Amino acid sequence: MRPVWEEKPGVAGQVAKGTVLTAVVLVVVVPLWVALVTSLSSRATINAAGGLVVVPRGIDVSAYRIIFSGGQISQALWISTLVTVVGTLVSLLVTIPAAYGLSRPGSVGHRGLLFFFLLTFLVYPGLVPSYLVVTGVGLKDSLWALILPSAINVFNFVVVRAFFQGLPSELLDSARVDGAGEFRILWRIVLPLSKAVVAVVGLFYAVGYWNVWFSALLYIDDNEKFPIQRVLQTFILAGQTPQTSGTAVGTALPPTLAIKMAVVVVTVAPIAAVYPFVQRHFTRGVILGAVKG
């Protein structure tokens, strides 16, 4: 709703705003549409279009059969799902207690720990020290190398901490008077009131883990442990042909371009499907927490 002091935009302003928003939507939607249509196109349709297909001419789901019938792509989807689920749980289990502890004034080591967290906003250790630490503790070629180095994001920590600081202190004090400990207060009182910020931060973590590829490029050498983003990068940039299961492929293979676009669609679809369910929490979870920080 427009504030009472804000003037109603004129016709030119409305037209300009509508034009800009339409252009932004087209920039986002058109590439996704082309990838989806191309992934569902037959070899004849792709050859007739000379590459990417814009106008659909029939539906051919053979590329998706290849993806979900076994082989490197199916394995990469499983790896990405595992890393996303486990990584998001680990990150939330680390971020929420840390944010709650440092949101309470007078907690043990409050200033020193908070300074340690916030210092990472200004100082980054660098790629080489990070690589040496990860390989030095034995995480090379392990899926934990995709999770533990990014287990906590300082921005998400600050947002959650600011949200916890905005909760009424009288509510927490009354629970302490009734004999509740800090962990009980966190579990029974704070978390039920913080579903919005937890959902938003959880989505941030999930998107980060689902899109991980640079860490996989650094730490994962085994092709069987590649996440879907690393496989996609290999297919699109390196021009390699997807490795599929021989028993499921048969004799008629779909075009390589259709398989690549199908991998793109499968990569984008999970996050795009989850986002609408979390969108309603964004204003309360992020903006409110950021303002109160």
Residues 6+ apart with CB under 8 A from 101: 107, 182
Which of 81-85, 95-99, 166-170, 249-253 is least confident?
A: 249-253
Q: How sure is the predictor about 247, in pLDDT bands with cuts at 50, 70 and 90?
A: very low
Tell me the whole-structure pTM to 2 decimals. Answer: 0.83
Cβ(153)–Cβ(95) under 8 Å? yes
Closest CA to 104 of 178, 176, 161: 161
Query: Are both 89 and 43 inside the same structural domain?
Result: no
Query: Are both 72 and 34 inside the same structural domain?
Result: no
- Is the pLDDT at 228 greater than 70? The verdict is yes
Query: Are both 171 and 131 inside the same structural domain?
Result: yes
The label of the residue with tokens 């100082």 reads: 123
pLDDT of residue 220: 93
Query: Are both 95 and 117 inside the same structural domain?
Result: yes
How many structural domains comprise the chain? 2
Query: Are both 17 and 74 inside the same structural domain?
Result: no
Query: Are both 48 and 180 inside the same structural domain?
Result: no
Closest CA to 255 of 46, 64, 48: 46
- Is the pLDDT at 249 greater than 70? The verdict is no
Query: Are both 29 and 174 inside the same structural domain?
Result: no
- Is the pLDDT at 248 greater than 50? The verdict is no
Query: Are both 136 and 207 inside the same structural domain?
Result: yes
Cα–Cα distance measured from residue 69 to residue 221, given in angstroms and rounded to the nearest whole number: 24
Q: How sure is the predictor about 243, in pLDDT bands with cuts at 50, 70 and 90?
A: low
What average pLDDT does this structure show over 152-172? 89
Looking at mean pLDDT, say which of 8-12, 86-90, 229-233 comes out highest.
86-90
Query: Are both 180 and 43 inside the same structural domain?
Result: no
Residue 168's domain comprises 63-292
Give the percent of the chain with pLDDT over 70.
Answer: 87
Query: Are both 129 and 250 inside the same structural domain?
Result: yes
Cα–Cα distance measured from residue 227 to residue 205, given in angstroms and rounded to the nearest whole number: 16
Residue type present at position 224? E
Residue range 114-142, pLDDT digits in tens: 888 888 878 877 888 889 999 999 999 99
pLDDT of residue 206: 93
- Is the pLDDT at 35 greater than 60? The verdict is yes
Query: In this structure, what CATH number is given to the domain that contains residue 123?
Result: 1.10.3720.10
Residues 6+ apart with CB under 8 A from 67: 73, 74, 77, 259, 262, 263, 266
